[in-house]
Amino acid sequence: MKNFFFLFFLFFLFSVLRAEEMELPKNLSPQTRQCIGCHKLYTPGIVHDWLKSSHSKTTLEEALKKNELERRVTVKVLPPEFSMIVVGCYECHGQNKEKHTDNFTHFGNKINVVVSPNDCATCHPEEVKQFSGSKKYHAIKNLIQNPLYHALVSTATGVTTYEKGQLVQNNPTELTLHEACLGCHGTEVTVKGFKKVKSLSSGLEITIPDLANWPNQGVGRKNPDGSFGACASCHPRHSFSIEVARKPYTCAQCHLEPDVPAYNVYKESKHGNIFESVGEHVWNFDNVPWQVGRDFTSPTCATCHNSLIVRSDGKVIAQRTHDFGGRLWVRLFGLIYSHPQPKSGDTTIIKNADGLPLPTTFAGKLAEEYLISKDEAEARKELMKNVCSSCHNTDWINGHFKKLDNTIKETNEMTKTATTILLEAWEQKVADNKNPFDEPIERKWVQQWLFYGNSIRYASAMSGAPDYTSFKYGWWELTKNLREMKDYIKKKESKD
Amino acid sequence: MKNFFFLFFLFFLFSVLRAEEMELPKNLSPQTRQCIGCHKLYTPGIVHDWLKSSHSKTTLEEALKKNELERRVTVKVLPPEFSMIVVGCYECHGQNKEKHTDNFTHFGNKINVVVSPNDCATCHPEEVKQFSGSKKYHAIKNLIQNPLYHALVSTATGVTTYEKGQLVQNNPTELTLHEACLGCHGTEVTVKGFKKVKSLSSGLEITIPDLANWPNQGVGRKNPDGSFGACASCHPRHSFSIEVARKPYTCAQCHLEPDVPAYNVYKESKHGNIFESVGEHVWNFDNVPWQVGRDFTSPTCATCHNSLIVRSDGKVIAQRTHDFGGRLWVRLFGLIYSHPQPKSGDTTIIKNADGLPLPTTFAGKLAEEYLISKDEAEARKELMKNVCSSCHNTDWINGHFKKLDNTIKETNEMTKTATTILLEAWEQKVADNKNPFDEPIERKWVQQWLFYGNSIRYASAMSGAPDYTSFKYGWWELTKNLREMKDYIKKKESKD
Amino acid sequence: MKNFFFLFFLFFLFSVLRAEEMELPKNLSPQTRQCIGCHKLYTPGIVHDWLKSSHSKTTLEEALKKNELERRVTVKVLPPEFSMIVVGCYECHGQNKEKHTDNFTHFGNKINVVVSPNDCATCHPEEVKQFSGSKKYHAIKNLIQNPLYHALVSTATGVTTYEKGQLVQNNPTELTLHEACLGCHGTEVTVKGFKKVKSLSSGLEITIPDLANWPNQGVGRKNPDGSFGACASCHPRHSFSIEVARKPYTCAQCHLEPDVPAYNVYKESKHGNIFESVGEHVWNFDNVPWQVGRDFTSPTCATCHNSLIVRSDGKVIAQRTHDFGGRLWVRLFGLIYSHPQPKSGDTTIIKNADGLPLPTTFAGKLAEEYLISKDEAEARKELMKNVCSSCHNTDWINGHFKKLDNTIKETNEMTKTATTILLEAWEQKVADNKNPFDEPIERKWVQQWLFYGNSIRYASAMSGAPDYTSFKYGWWELTKNLREMKDYIKKKESKD
């Protein structure tokens, strides 16, 4: 056995010596230097990724010397252990070990497998705090602990069998949920114990934590240290890139047609057209703060929703936020109607007048006490208008928002009509309301608000994606769908 | 009040002084210099956009010194007021004031809000003249004044309510039309009077024209000076970029699946594949004239449809045109059959043998006197083949067009079959023909020609997007749809 | 007539002299020099394309001097005629003349119109050999000679007419097949004789082979020399670019939603997101071998499926292969169930327990003798895991593949449920099984496995495209579709 390790060591030495020399930062912690010693060979993808990051290029001391607007960290006092070194493997994977049930000893170092927002908070506390107020932070709970949404999830993703002439709906398996809904919302990663695996790249057998519900990068993931979130959802892997997060492709992983077609609509909008034609690889997506005009001349998702935006005189047009609904006054995403943003990121606390955990009743009455006030909504809308005003005049902006208000009103009316037809179907026993999501007419009803209503509202909000508004998941479908729902009742009636 | 303005002035001065110095062109008109004085701070997006444009870099005198093929302006005689200056804010927003009902006094200058093609014609008269002959120029009228298309628009986009067990179709609101059909076709922008607004960026209260049906960038927009068109549809905002117009993302704003999937098909074609892989940010999209081989090695939309294309010896392969149908012999877009291009850009004048304002009858008979002759069609096809011949040999090209001809014939046959079934449905009272666009079987009929037939023809014309031709909005849907239409009749019959 | 040629010659000379000087490689064969003499003027697109290629820059002698991992050619012994020259027009279009029925005399040179894999094999024999074992090599046969698939093709793409109240299905025409299924699978290009054409670019009348089923770039194309394949499908036209082939846009031409949504899913995955945000125009897509980390930090299609991947110490992570299924253990593409990869690229030899030419029975039983063994499957899976291990740890990778295994199992169960319902429909005469692909309920059945099951499996394999898994062609459709199939039976029954 000893001989084996000796041979391995020789082979390893030989491999390392053969490897092309990779230029490493000088001020690495000894632990990080040790990590990279092997991993530059065995997982070169992530080591090179990290080499491109600000983490590998900047010590926290240097980071804190920048003026406040230019700072990428929000910690105020320098943690002494970070003073002279850049942020490497161990600085992130070695944080808050005591909280991490996924901590294990790896070649002498105590390492956490999963780096959590709570670890990132060592240097980025404000960002994590903002995020904690968001619906994204509560993304698992908001989906799974809301009995109505949970029923929708189960009905849509469970294996269905056919027994004695009847379709039998089974509950979805965990693994399928992890790839479907929880692919975006996040899983609950826990530690079941420890296990041995033989590393695919080094061939070594190592002992590691045995993680359940892993891997997963959903934005609301529950981590083995008890925290929520996965910063890598948007700042992926080891480059922790602002550029990646500011480009719309990142948001596109979860915000896509048919249910939340934010990216699809952006691409078709004039803003997206300019970004793709002359912005994508030309503008500066890394500057902090992000200066309108100098750095970019058309917004991406991050411009309006998240980034710290300034103008040339340093005036802040919008403060940075990682509370993704923080600048929003309305929730376009219809449940089942578009409605004012909820006050809390935790939407499970909502109860509407029908006693259901929804922000509106089926008839459209708002669960007002759980939603932001009109004043708050107006204040947020003004803030968003400020962003627009870097390129557009006030009248243009007001005209744009007037159209959006009308679109919200009309698509809500279309949802109401569909709901009325569904209620009639239930009354006439053409469908039964035990599960409101399984029968064909019920699916049509869901599509009315979840696919078509939403698409039109997103298109309106982003000032133009006329084919989404008109034909593709738009008004064409909205009006066709109502006729087909009505037809469904008629046909079923005529049968009985 | 005076104090307030004084304080504001001090604040403004302070802001301007704090602002990063922006390098401005030297030869600005005094009015433009004044505009930029404030707007570089308040709307930096558009000022930076303009700084990247040829307008900010070239005087008309210099522009006219270029040889004819290289010229970006088509005016022949130098307007004296433009001789020594570059084209700035005032040069465009101050044109033809007497015609502009949207002219207003803004900090001492008489300014038009909306710059129209008629204003651009000061330097670009030929482009505007070409455009005036196009269907795009007549885009509002062609849609709204054609009673049949208008019925389609109204049926598809109007709010529908459910009253006493019946669906009630309301007329669409103006605001919804502006975002749907008129988002591409254009609105009629008029001046209702004047109003005061408080500027979001400067905080100043200013008096401005009160515009109706604004904002809108639809290509056939009617402007407050009585002219038609919006050059910014394709040369967006203040960079007036040829690069943007030559990239397919621009055309993609309106030419998308499911009704006119030009961009979707391009992306899947070999031409699009090469553009995206090695062209997008590598080729020269700004050279005038555009030289095949040197500047690009695969076409974009503009190559075949619009741009001035030359080869290395200066031979013109295709003349520039802003009449977007000018190089086309066939109109792939089926109304309801694909047919030869109309002679006039104004398609409301067409009357077919059934007396309907359509280029074909329901049975497929052409309204020949309104359509270009076979000779003209052949001449245009030859011109298009010339473009292909820069990279492909003659036999290849002929083979390609033979396939396209066949595709047009077969998809038209499929439209005819669907129409025959619909007529039977009307005859048998399974549906009623008062409104040919509202009932489910009628929607299927529309999708047959508007979605599926069109998609297949676009895919054929662009030489390959086999998944569009086969499955996605292609033959799979075309054949499935017919069976479902037939089924619809059978089911309804069996009921009665 | 002689005068005409003299005039033409003068004109030609004049044109050539006027043409901008193009810098040509020095070591051209005399034939290639002659080709370019005219073609730089008449088809500048392809000449410039070639100028960018390695072919125009490297002699085979230089190519063979590189060490083995860096070599782009696999021929071992230098063919003497290539020793001192770069690879130009004649070197490819003049190969193996005796085998080419499409050979013709063109301005004194014997030229083949179609360059085939057998010609490329002069320098790239290994690549062609690998390709010959693939399903792509047999792409025409696999589709057209399988009676079941052929029936699907015919039913989906044939013109349908309506005669005496009945839909009449005609066979698809050759020209439509060429644009639909055979656009990807390839046509059989044959020579019908010779013909005269007047060249569009030069105006000269020339005699050329009269090719049938041309043009076509399908990957399994049968060529006039009897060989199969079209290298230009993925290394398009005359740049023969590795970069193009390594970018996902190329694969996207055929691997698209709704049937094989590989590209669509990639775009939505984290890998695709990183590629589009920071890789596309930044990483090195041309290096041979392709080194993880240094050259790229997120995979494209080619990384996992084809390219020679190494790490910094020169260790080969994956050998280059042009057998596109060679690294794959499972065939996600369900026919009708997802199943182990077939042993042979020729799938027409398969016969299942029902005697049908399918890899599984309708009940899901595998035609095991035609499919790879479990051991072989495991070995291939390990190989693929090696690719993942350049960036991911072993546990992460195993967790990923566990989800994929489950997804395959569950989507197969969903196919089985749909098949059971279809069999019931056939039994109850709600549909007839003469043609299993024409009636509406049969189309729903096909979509269950061909569209929805496939999409979910691709999304799972590429580690995440949650909207495909959930809503878009995913579980939402899978469960909805079953209910609609059941409804179809109920409605039809109630009628009778």
Q: In 3D, which of C327, C291, C293 has the Cα closest to residue C310? A: C291
CB A336 within 8 A of CB A362: yes
Could you tell me which chain C residue has the CA closest to the CA of A473? C472
Residue with tokens 């059989």: C188
Backbone angles phi, psi at C138, to 5 degrees: -100, 25
Measure CB to CB from residue A200 to each of C276, C315, C386 and give the nearest one: C386
Query: Which two structure tokens, joined as six digits, stand for C103?
Result: 């050979």
CB C248 within 8 A of CB C458: no
What is the model's pLDDT at position C258? 95
Amino acid in the structure at residue C318? A
Measure CB to CB from residue C160 to each of B311, B407, B479 and give the nearest one: B479
pLDDT in tens, B349-358: 999 999 999 9
DSSP state of B135: T
Q: In 3D, which of B62, B56, B41 has the Cα closest to residue B91? A: B56
Q: In 3D, which of C252, C253, C257, C416 has the Cα closest to residue C338? A: C416
DSSP state of B287: -
CB C113 within 8 A of CB C211: yes
Measure CB to CB from residue B273 to each of C46, C173, C249 and give the nearest one: C249
**Cβ atoms within 10 A of the Cβ of B163, count?**
9
Cβ separation of B293 and C44 shorter than 8 Å?
yes
Cα–Cα dist C88/C33, whole Å? 8
For residue C88, the SS3 value is coil
Measure CB to CB from residue B45 to each of A391, A403, A482 and give the nearest one: A391
Q: Can the peptide bond before residue A85 be classed as cis, meaning omega within 30 degrees of 0?
A: no
Could you tell me which chain A residue has the CA closest to the CA of C420? A162
Q: Tell me how close the Cα of B449 comes to any Cα of chain C, in angstroms.
A: 14
Amino acid in the structure at residue A460? S
User: Chain C neighbours among A 303-322 (CB < 8 Å)?
Assistant: none
* Residues of chain C contacting B273 with CB distance shorter than 8 Å: 236, 244, 249-250, 252-253
- Going by their DSSP bridges, the two strands C290-291 and C309-310 should be labelled as parallel
Cα–Cα dist B461/A391, whole Å? 39
Q: In 3D, which of A410, A406, A400 has the Cα closest to residue A449? A: A410
Cβ separation of B44 and A311 shorter than 8 Å?
yes
* Residues of chain A contacting B201 with CB distance shorter than 8 Å: 386, 389-390, 394
Measure CB to CB from residue A440 to each of C388, C470, C487 and give the nearest one: C487
**pTM of the complete model beyond 0.90:** yes
* Residues of chain A contacting B241 with CB distance shorter than 8 Å: 277-278
For residue C339, the SS3 value is strand
* Residues of chain C contacting A183 with CB distance shorter than 8 Å: 464, 466, 469-470
* Residues of chain A contacting C480 with CB distance shorter than 8 Å: 440, 443
Amino acid in the structure at residue C206? I
Residues of chain C with pLDDT under 70: 1-21, 492-496
Amino acid in the structure at residue A486? K
Cα–Cα dist B371/C320, whole Å? 56
Query: Which two structure tokens, joined as six digits, stand for B487?
Result: 């089924």
Contacts of B212 (CB under 8 A, 6+ apart): B188, B189, B190, B191, B192
- The mean pLDDT value for B388-411 works out to 97
Q: In 3D, which of A399, A398, A340, A332 has the Cα closest to residue A369? A: A340
Cβ separation of B394 and C200 shorter than 8 Å?
yes
Query: Which two structure tokens, joined as six digits, stand for A161?
Result: 């069998």
Q: In 3D, which of A272, A157, A254 has the Cα closest to residue C268? A: A254
Could you tell me which chain A residue has the CA closest to the CA of C384? A200
- Going by their DSSP bridges, the two strands C330-331 and C339-340 should be labelled as antiparallel
| Contacts by residues C32-39 (CB-CB < 8 Å, ≥ 24 positions apart) | C32/C85, C32/C88, C32/C89, C32/C90, C32/C91, C33/C88, C34/C107, C34/C108, C34/C109, C35/C88, C35/C89, C35/C90, C35/C109, C36/C88, C36/C89, C38/C12, C38/C107, C38/C202, C39/C89
- The mean pLDDT value for B339-344 works out to 98
Mutate: best of C316, C362, C391, C413, partner A, most A CBs <10 A: C391
For residue C206, the SS3 value is strand
DSSP state of C31: H
Bridge partners of A197?
A206
Cβ separation of B157 and A475 shorter than 8 Å?
yes
Backbone angles phi, psi at A122, to 5 degrees: -55, -40
What is the model's pLDDT at position C434? 95
- The mean pLDDT value for B208-226 works out to 97
CB C324 within 8 A of CB C298: no
What is the model's pLDDT at position C81? 85
Is residue B329 over pLDDT 50? yes
Cα–Cα dist B167/C76, whole Å? 76
In chain C, what are the helix, strand and coil shares in percent, each to the nearest 5?
Answer: 45, 10, 40
Mutate: best of B113, B154, B169, B200, partner A, most A CBs <10 A: B200
Could you tell me which chain C residue has the CA closest to the CA of A18? C313
- The mean pLDDT value for B437-460 works out to 97
Spell out the per-residue pLDDT of chain A, length 496, in tens: 455 555 555 555 555 445 556 789 989 999 999 999 999 999 999 999 999 999 999 999 999 999 999 999 999 988 888 888 999 999 999 999 999 999 999 999 999 999 999 999 999 999 999 999 999 999 999 999 999 999 999 999 999 999 999 999 999 999 999 999 999 999 999 999 999 999 999 999 999 999 999 999 999 999 999 999 999 999 999 999 999 999 999 999 999 999 999 999 999 999 999 999 999 989 999 999 999 999 999 999 999 999 999 999 999 999 999 999 999 999 999 899 999 999 999 999 999 999 999 999 999 999 999 999 999 999 999 999 999 999 999 999 999 999 999 999 999 999 999 999 999 999 999 999 999 999 999 999 999 999 999 999 999 999 878 899 999 999 999 999 999 999 999 876 665 4
Contacts of A98 (CB under 8 A, 6+ apart): none
Query: Which two structure tokens, joined as six digits, stand for A340?
Result: 């004012």
CB C481 within 8 A of CB C418: yes
Angle between helices B475-495 and B440-447 (to 10 degrees): 160
Contacts of C281 (CB under 8 A, 6+ apart): A281, B280, B281, B282
For chain B, the average pLDDT equals 94
Cβ separation of B439 and A483 shorter than 8 Å?
yes
What is the model's pLDDT at position C8? 52
Could you give the C-alpha distances from C180 to B452, C153, C183, C254, in angstroms and in order?
Answer: 13, 9, 5, 11
Cα–Cα dist B186/B140, whole Å? 6
DSSP state of C209: E
Could you give the C-alpha distances from A267 to A140, A206, B146, B235, in angstroms and in order?
Answer: 28, 46, 31, 17
Backbone angles phi, psi at C192, to 5 degrees: -90, -15
How many Å is the Cα radius of gyration of chain A?
26
Q: How many CB pairs under 8 A join A and C?
A: 207
Cβ separation of A297 and B45 shorter than 8 Å?
yes
User: Chain B neighbours among A 243-302 (CB < 8 Å)?
Assistant: 267-270, 272-274, 276-278, 280-282, 291-294, 297-298
* Residues of chain C contacting B469 with CB distance shorter than 8 Å: 179-180, 183
CB A304 within 8 A of CB A400: no
Cβ separation of C179 and B393 shorter than 8 Å?
no
What is the model's pLDDT at position A1? 44
DSSP state of C151: H
What is the model's pLDDT at position A464? 75
ipTM: 0.94
Q: Sign (positive/negative) of CA torsion C212, C216, C219, C224? A: positive
Q: What does the H/E/C string look like for chain A? A: CHHHHHHHHHHHHHHHHHCCCCCCCCCCCHHHHHHHHHHHHHCHHHHHHHHCCCCCCCEHHHHHHCCHHHCCCCCCCCCHHHCCCECCHHHHHCCCHHHCCCEEEECCEEEECCCCHHHHCCCCHHHHHHHHCCCCCCHHHHHHCCHHHHHHHHHHHCCEEEECCEEEECCCCHHHHHHCHHHHHCCECEEEEEEEEECCCCCCEEEEEEEECCCCCCCCCECCCCCECCHHHCCCCCCCCHHHHHCHHHHCCCCCCCCCCHHHHHHHCHHHHHHHHHHCCCCCCCCCCEEECCCECCCCHHHHHCCCEECCCCCEEECCCCCCCCCCCEECCCCCCCEECECCCCHHHCCCCCCCCCCECCCCCECHHHECCHHHHHHHHHHHHHHHCCCCCHHHHHHHHHHHHHHHHHHHHHHHHHHHHHHHHHHCCCCCCCCCCCCHHHHHHHHHHHHHHHHHHHHHHCCCCHHHHHCCCCHHHHHHHHHHHHHHHHHHHHHC
Burial class, C345, CB count within 10 angstroms (exposed 0-12 / middle 13-18 / buried 19+): buried
In degrees to the nearest 10, what's the CA dihedral of A232, A234, A237, A240?
A: -100
